[in-house]
Amino acid sequence: MQLLKQSTAATIVVGPVLDANGVAVTTAVVTNFSIAKNGTVAALTTETVTHSVNGYYTIALTTSNTNTLGQLDVIVNASTMAMANHRYTILTAGMFDAIVTNGRLLRSTNSNSEVAVTGANHIAADVHQMQHDVITAAAIADNAITAAALASDAVTKIQSGLATTSGVTASFTEIKGAGWSSTTDTLEKIAEAGGSSTITVSIPASTAQTIADSATNKLNLIRGTTFSYQFTNIGTLTDWTKIYFTVRPIKKSADSQSLIQIVVTNPSDGADGLKYLNGAATTAAWGSITVDDVHTGDVTITLTPTATTLLAEQYDVDFDIKVIKSSAIPLIVFGKLDVKPDVTRAIT
């Protein structure tokens, strides 16, 4: 996330803008882009938009574009184009200057650098000019810190934060179980009992891919990998006619602005699969919804690496599964999803 100054013109770089085949678009115009101020979407109209290189564009934001404090998103609104959401934070002029322009938050009222702290045993120092390694062991005089200079209970407080023999024994007992012996249950003894000097830990294949995080109750989607997750026991699906899986950063926006939307129909209408990606129509074969069990309500959501590699890193994005039923009572399951970055970008 980048920072912008409130009510101040700024030129930003967004992209890449891609077509449905993943090819860079170099002919986008200003009306192909929209901005969202804290979730309220409006198309750009008169701003200067210029193609730079390989689908990246510069946009000259005006003071009207940056006049609202908070979140500012730049998105593509053309159905034939896709671009990862670009998010900015609009700060007050004072906060922006403190963080970005001047590069420091601590300043005196009458100087750009000096902060004087007066009184007995205090220091008047030029905080701005303090550099790395100014305070070194050589710079501290021998016996500058003495026992008399420490509070009487300082040693006790330090020791209270250290591990004790009983605490370490309790931790190892929790790992092994009751009856931990410091004589027979050392790491060396465990290795000898197993006939090997090393301990091997095997990670299940699914753990390295896209799984629900039980600690945060969220789905993890790792960019550039196959996303496949089965939702179980969401409710009976015996009379289902259509199922949607939708991921959208801005709940108020239209389905066509979804980060991800997959649909399946019963019976199939020939348009099942990935409907929208990054707010644009895309290739249906890149995504699917499979109904595994209509009685318990088990469905599997799948996205190909070709689709996930086009997503930008983002966190706490809302998703839901909506089941349209012939009984006219829809079934909805919702939660949060993180799009996490891959290190290796190749997918073939």
Cα distance between residue 255 and residue 263, in whole Å: 12
Other beta carbons less than 10 A from residue 191's beta carbon? 13
Predicted pLDDT at 99: 83
CATH 2.60.40.10 placement within the chain: 2-95, 207-340
pLDDT cut 90: percent of the chain above it: 50
This prediction has a pTM of 0.41
Task: Judge: domain 2-95, CATH 2.60.40.10.
Answer: yes
pLDDT digits (tens, 9 = 90+) for 119-135: 444 444 454 555 566 67
CATH, range 207-340: 2.60.40.10
- Model confidence band, residue 339 (pLDDT cutoffs 50, 70, 90): very high
Q: Give the chain's largest Cα–Cα span.
A: 85
The tokens describing 231, both together, are 């939702």
The tokens describing 300, both together, are 């599997």
DSSP 186-242: SHHHHHHHHT-S----PPPGGGGS--EETTTTEEEEETTS-EEEEE------TTEEE
Q: Are strands 70-76 and 33-37 parallel, antiparallel or unpaired?
A: antiparallel
Predicted pLDDT at 34: 93
Looking at residue 23, what DSSP letter applies?
P
